Amino acid sequence: MMKTLKRLGNIITNNFGLKLLSVALAFVLWVIVAQISNPVGTVSFSNVRVTLINAEQLEAQGKVYQILDQTDVVKVTVRAPESVISTLSASDISAVADLSEINEDGTVPITYSLDRAERIIADHDELLISVDDKKTKYVNIQYQLIGEVGEGCVQGGVKLARNRLEISGPASAVDRIAYALVTIDLDGAIKTISADMEIYLYDATGNRIENELIVKQTDYVTTTVTVLSTKRVPIYASVTGEPSAGYIYTGDLSVDPEVITIAGDTSVLNGITRIDITDPVDIGSARNDITATYDLTRYLPSGVEFEDKSFDGEISVTAYIEKMLEKNLTISPDALLLHDIPEGFNAEIVGTEEINVRLVGLETELNAVSNESLTGIVEIDSYLTANNITDITDGDIVTIPVKFNLSDHVNADAVYVRVQLTLVEEDV
């Protein structure tokens, strides 16, 4: 037994160096064969996204962060066997930045890992971020109208479902926001517009701010723009009272403006032909022209407004007052028409060859009346009936008033003429 063990030991120890070399050569040969059958190569990925962890710790401190210079996207080169490389994608590479390990200079180390890789080389190994206090505030939502409504229409009121917007984000970014704005295109609109309009943020100088770290309460607001039809209508006014003795209202009433363009729903405008000022101009005891001012909005029908947004509704109405003048005329009885002569009688004016008439009225209208142009009428039978004069005999003389043909603003003193009635002679 001892001889056998000794013989075995001699076999092992004899030529030991040669045997060790054989083992090494065998390993090298194995490596060469392995490299030939599954060589090592490299592959690069330019869009490896860094995963952030422990961000909630910053949020718990009322902080928000912003990644700078796109350092959360990394170009990575991987060295590994071809059998591994052929199956790799960017999502297989783990790139992690722990935000709890942020340095004072705003850098965060990035840790890379990949199973079966011999080596990972990245174009940068730090994430660069800025940290700011989180801030929330409200801004007013304004609107901007562009384009023109269709012909014969006018833009009415604008209504937003909300007038204020809550925004939050980094204090430095939020502080730049001055207002929110929606834009409404009215081009060619002929009916009311109602739609959800996107909200954009602007600074105090009107520059649009786009920052993905700013969170808006909502991205859209329901906006309604009323589009109305238009119509031109006249304005009517009236007067009340009587001027002082010796003065007369000329009948002229000027309204400024005389015509106004109104806007409203077509169904409402179809029923409107004029705007009436229901409060008359008071000319009582007036000796001069009277001008009254009115707020026309008080007299607009419900659902109607002015087309011109700048018009405040103020109008003026002037009633013209003139002093009455006197004019004396003399006319012939032939200037009077004997009318309504009782049946069976003839009639003629007797006892005078001329008739004096005193006129009072407006100068312009008095000037239009002369001895030659003034005429009148004597209503005989109507007068007799009104005064219960029924027993008329041949040759009776009746005193009857004259009605002169005068304009509205000229009056005549009472004038009476004596009319003799004679029976019509029958043919023999």
For residue 30, tell me if it sits in a domain: no
Number of folded domains that form the chain? 4
| 139 and 225 co-located in one domain | yes
- Report which secondary-structure segment, H or E, holds 386: helix 380-386
Residues 139-197: pLDDT tens digits?
A: 999 999 999 999 999 998 899 999 999 999 999 999 999 999 999 999 999 999 999 99
For residue 403, tell me if it sits in a domain: yes
For residue 373, tell me if it sits in a domain: yes
Q: b/e map of 342-363 (b: 16 or more CB within 10 Å)? A: eeebebebeeeeebebebbbbe
Mean pLDDT of 20-47: 64
| 88 and 146 co-located in one domain | no
Output the domain CATH number for residue 91. Answer: 2.170.120
Which distant-in-sequence residues (6+ apart) come within 8 Å of 312 by Cβ?
A: none
pLDDT at 31 over 50: no
Predicted pLDDT at 358: 96
d(CA 63, CA 294): 61
Residues 91-116: pLDDT tens digits?
A: 888 899 999 999 989 999 999 988 87
pLDDT at 124 over 70: yes
Predicted pLDDT at 30: 47
Predicted pLDDT at 279: 97
Output the domain CATH number for residue 393. Answer: 2.170.120.30
| 253 and 172 co-located in one domain | no
pLDDT at 119 over 70: yes
Q: What one-letter code names the amino acid at 145?
A: L
pLDDT at 37 over 50: no
pLDDT at 34 over 70: no
What average pLDDT does the chain have? 89
| 319 and 331 co-located in one domain | no
| 331 and 316 co-located in one domain | no
For residue 13, tell me if it sits in a domain: no
Mean pLDDT of 223-248: 95
Residues 355-382: pLDDT tens digits?
A: 999 999 988 899 999 999 999 999 999 9
- Report which secondary-structure segment, H or E, holds 35: helix 16-37
End-to-end Cα distance, the chain: 204
Nearest to 123 by CA among 108, 106, 110: 110
For residue 26, tell me if it sits in a domain: no
Predicted pLDDT at 42: 87
Output the domain CATH number for residue 189. Answer: 2.170.120.40
Residues 178-192: pLDDT tens digits?
A: 999 999 999 999 999
55-61 long-range contacts (CB < 8 A, ≥24 apart) are: 55/99, 57/99, 57/100, 58/99, 58/131, 59/134
For residue 1, tell me if it sits in a domain: no
pLDDT at 85 over 90: no
Q: What one-letter code names the amino acid at 152?
A: G
| 212 and 247 co-located in one domain | no
- Domain span at residue 85 reads 40-124
Q: What one-letter code names the amino acid at 89?
A: S
Predicted pLDDT at 17: 59
Domain end point (choices 172, 194, 229)? 229
| 48 and 88 co-located in one domain | yes
| 261 and 307 co-located in one domain | yes
Confidence of residue 23 (pLDDT cuts 50, 70, 90): low
Predicted pLDDT at 91: 85
Q: What percent of the chain has pLDDT over 90?
A: 72
Domain end point (choices 92, 124, 156)? 124
Mean pLDDT of 284-291: 97
Residues 375-402: pLDDT tens digits?
A: 999 999 999 999 999 899 999 999 999 9
Predicted pLDDT at 370: 96
Domain end point (choices 99, 124, 149)? 124
For residue 32, tell me if it sits in a domain: no
